Amino acid sequence: MADFDRQTLEHLKKLCRIECDEAEEADILNSLKRIIEYFAQFDEVQIEKGASKHSVLNGMTGNRWREDIPETLLTREEFLSNAPDQIAGMIRVPPVLKTQ
Amino acid sequence: MNRMHYLSAIELRDAFLKGEVTAQNIAQHFLKRIEKHGSALGAFLSVLGPRVLLKAEALDKKRTHGKPLGKLAGIPIAIKDNMHIAGEITTCGSKFLKNYKAPFDATAVRLLEEEDALLIGKTNLDEFAMGSSNENSAYFPVNNPWNLTRVPGGSSGGSAAAISARLALLATGSDTGGSIRQPASFCGVVGFKPTYGRVSRYGLVAFGSSLDQIGPFATTVADAALVMETIGRSCPYDATSLDFPAESYKLTQDLKDIKIGIPNRFLENLRPEVQANYLSAIDIMRSLGATAVEIDLDILKYSIAVYYVLATAEASTNLARFDGIRYGVRSPSAKNLEQIYDFSRKEGFGREVKKRIMLGTFVLSAGFQDAYYKKAQKIRSLILDAFEKAYEICDAVIMPVATSGAFAAGAIHDPVEMYLQDIFTVPANLAGLPAISVPSGFDSEHLPLGIQIIGPQMCDVSVMRYAYAYEQATRLAGVPPAFADEEP
């Protein structure tokens, strides 16, 4: 089981693409330390070889797949109606490539 | 009909069908109640006044012209604000989606509307359904109608409070780890989580996809069953939707030949008044013909740890879609693409959501996945095994819903203590089981308590039948004194 420290938090912020202010960061660090300590109880559980492979869908039907037929569930206009920025029927974002 | 909020949903529908009250009177009555009590409770994030009045007018015309009416005709229903109503805002209790206008209906919402329910408003919740007290709403907290200084439970606290205070007669909730049952218990109403896959999740903003289920809040079990008859249907737009026809809920008043499972060792250390309430519920079920058998569910002591690994892992992937690009807020201070992600998520998400995304990312990250995520999956399988074994000797498992009555707002600071509030509710989500909370009395502070009945997968109707029998014998639901007014 892991120790959870500030360095791990910094790494996680990058993985999650989330910035925090100082107060938030201190609280999140303390909370996650506490919660991960609580998860140490997993060590008490021995999983025997060949143990159950039960999943929540056992006894049910499993995933249902639709036929691969295109449907118009949303028009372009409907989809774009929630976009924070758009141009000529497309979503606009800042330039990704730097110009020379 | 000044007291129509005292009726059950079925009674009000029947009054409408007989012409004793118009749909417009009903809509106006409940809109008035929301106006009068809504701000004290914080139960609603939006009220659909013009929309519901239009629908009511159309229903009155239908009735006058003798056209067929749906089975929910004229019943005011509140929708948890993480489910889409086309053309209306879905905030999920988050600033991230403060302006997000739903482009389509959730399947459950569509089915309710097709049966002529009156959609009256969208209810408050913990942000993205993450919380057990409704203190995590980005807008304002919800207060418990039985005591405004207490929490209503979470995450569907707005729906539970709205039903308890009779601001609507039906409501929807979503239950990932107890988010219907725990607030139902705290607010003294009925709350049902169906078998996983019974109700389509299409149009429900995802939190933990292997755990989430939509279900009803109501003042009676029969009303909750009526909602299930409507929304418990197969749906092609949810790949985990069960491929079975809708069920008819025939309710009976006894528990003859029913074996109820009592997980004594798992329930060690209950608070005395919760234990007394639990034992009294068992006695009542016995008096209705049930036999109690002891079952071994000791493995459930790990269920909170398992749940908070799996639910946060799923949440961290589900909430990756909120990036400020396609919908939701985009930070005005972002200058490049990476800043759009970083700043929009910083400004859009609240602290608990950030915490859970980070925790979920941690348990899935290289080096830790085996110790946390995979181990949790294996223990989840053991939990499924334990329930399966229990159901070889019993028909339903009986447990309290919560460890106490509603606690005070701001009382719990330790995250693990807060998460442990869900200890009796998360097992049903981990195992995909149908489970209901029914009012079972009050604690010494006159706050409601609930009893939980958990059935095997697919036995939703049986769970509802057992709950109905218990409810008919006890009738412990009531209207909170502050909301027991004789007028709208």
What percent of chain B is modeled with pLDDT above 70? 100
Given a cut of 70, whether residue B383 has pLDDT beyond it is yes
Quote the CA–CA distance of B457 and B447 in Å, as a whole number: 31
The residues in B 414-443 lying below 8 A from A, measured between CB atoms, are 414-416, 419, 430-432
**Position A35 in a domain:** yes
Looking at residue A59, its pLDDT comes to 46
What is the mean pLDDT of the segment spanning B255-263?
Answer: 97
The residues in B 346-385 lying below 8 A from A, measured between CB atoms, are 346, 349, 351, 354-355, 357-359, 361-362, 365, 367-368, 371-372, 375-376, 378-382, 384-385
**Position A57 in a domain:** no
Whether B346 and A19 lie within 8 Å, measured CB to CB: yes
List pLDDT tens digits, range B40-72: 999 999 999 999 999 999 999 999 999 999 999
Domain ranges of chain B: 4-258+394-483
What is the mean pLDDT of the segment spanning B272-292?
Answer: 97
Question: What residue in B sits closest to A13 (Cα-Cα)?
Answer: B358
Given a cut of 80, whether residue A65 has pLDDT beyond it is no
Distance (Å) from the alpha carbon of A73 to chain B's nearest alpha carbon: 8
Full-model pTM: 0.97
Bridging pattern class, strands B291-294 and B118-123: unpaired
List pLDDT tens digits, range A24-63: 999 999 999 999 999 999 999 988 876 666 666 554 556 6
Q: Which one-letter DSSP state was computed for residue A97?
A: S
**CATH at A31:** 1.10.20
Which CATH number describes the domain made up of B4-258+394-483?
3.90.1300.10
Whether A93 and B337 lie within 8 Å, measured CB to CB: yes
List pLDDT tens digits, range B420-476: 999 999 999 999 999 999 999 999 999 999 999 999 999 999 999 999 999 999 999
**Position A25 in a domain:** yes
**Position A77 in a domain:** no
Given a cut of 90, whether residue A99 has pLDDT beyond it is no
Whether A55 and B385 lie within 8 Å, measured CB to CB: no
- Annotated catalytic residues of B are 80, 155, 179
**Position A26 in a domain:** yes
Whether A85 and B330 lie within 8 Å, measured CB to CB: yes
Whether B415 and A34 lie within 8 Å, measured CB to CB: yes
List pLDDT tens digits, range B131-164: 999 999 999 999 999 999 999 999 999 999 999 9
What HEC string does chain B produce? Answer: CCCHHHCCHHHHHHHHHCCCCCHHHHHHHHHHHHHHHHHHHCCEEEECHHHHHHHHHHHHHHHHCCCCCCCCCCCEEEEECCECCCCCECCCCCHHHCCCECCCCCHHHHHHHHCCCEEEEEECCCHHHCCCCCCCCCCCCCCECCECCECCCCCCHHHHHHHHCCCCCEEEEEECCCCCHHHHHHHCCEEEECCCCCCCCCCECCCCCCCCEEEEEECCHHHHHHHHHHHCCCCCCCCCCCCCCCCCCCCCCCCCCCEEEECCCCCCCCCHHHHHHHHHHHHHHHHCCCEEEECCCHHHHHHHHHHHHHHHHHHHHHHHHCCCCCCCCCCCCCCCHHHHHHHHHHHHCCHHHHHHHHHHHHHHCCCCCHHHHHHHHHHHHHHHHHHHHHHHHCCEEEEECCCCCCCECCCCCCHHHHHHHHCCCHHHHHCCCCEEEEEEEECCCCCEEEEEEECCCCCHHHHHHHHHHHHHHHCCCCCCHHHCCCCC
List pLDDT tens digits, range B151-197: 999 999 999 999 999 999 999 999 999 999 999 999 999 999 999 99
**Position A19 in a domain:** yes
In which domain, by residue range, is A13 found?
A: 6-44
List pLDDT tens digits, range B314-364: 999 999 999 999 999 999 999 999 999 999 999 999 999 999 999 999 999
Whether B358 and A32 lie within 8 Å, measured CB to CB: yes
What is the mean pLDDT of the segment spanning B200-210?
Answer: 96
Match 């009294």 to its residue by tokens: B280
Instruction: Give the nearest partner residue to B196 out of A16, A56, A65, using CB atoms.
Output: A56
Whether A60 and B385 lie within 8 Å, measured CB to CB: no
The domain total for chain A is: 1
Looking at residue A62, its pLDDT comes to 61
For chain B, give the mean pLDDT.
96
Question: What residue in A sits closest to B343 (Cα-Cα)?
Answer: A19
Looking at residue A60, its pLDDT comes to 53
Given a cut of 50, whether residue B388 has pLDDT beyond it is yes
List pLDDT tens digits, range B225-246: 999 999 999 999 998 898 888 9
Given a cut of 50, whether residue B378 has pLDDT beyond it is yes
B388 interfacial to chain A (CB closer than 8 Å): yes
Distance (Å) from the alpha carbon of B375 to chain A's nearest alpha carbon: 7
Whether B340 and A94 lie within 8 Å, measured CB to CB: yes
**Position A1 in a domain:** no
Instruction: Give the nearest partner residue to B368 out of A2, A59, A91, using CB atoms.
Output: A2
Which of B355, B382, B385 to mutate against chain A (most A CBs within 10 Å)?
B355
B224 interfacial to chain A (CB closer than 8 Å): no
Looking at residue A72, its pLDDT comes to 85
Contact B383, B430 (CB under 8 A): yes
List pLDDT tens digits, range B81-102: 999 999 999 999 999 999 999 9
Contacts of B380 in chain A (CB under 8 A): 56
Distance (Å) from the alpha carbon of A72 to chain B's nearest alpha carbon: 12
Which of A6, A25, A27, A35 to mutate against chain B (most B CBs within 10 Å)?
A35
For the stretch A30-42, what's the b/e string if a residue is b when 16 or more beta carbons lie within 10 angstroms of its beta carbon?
ebbbebbebbeeb
Which of B361, B430, B457, B460 to mutate against chain A (most A CBs within 10 Å)?
B361
Count of residues making up chain A = 100
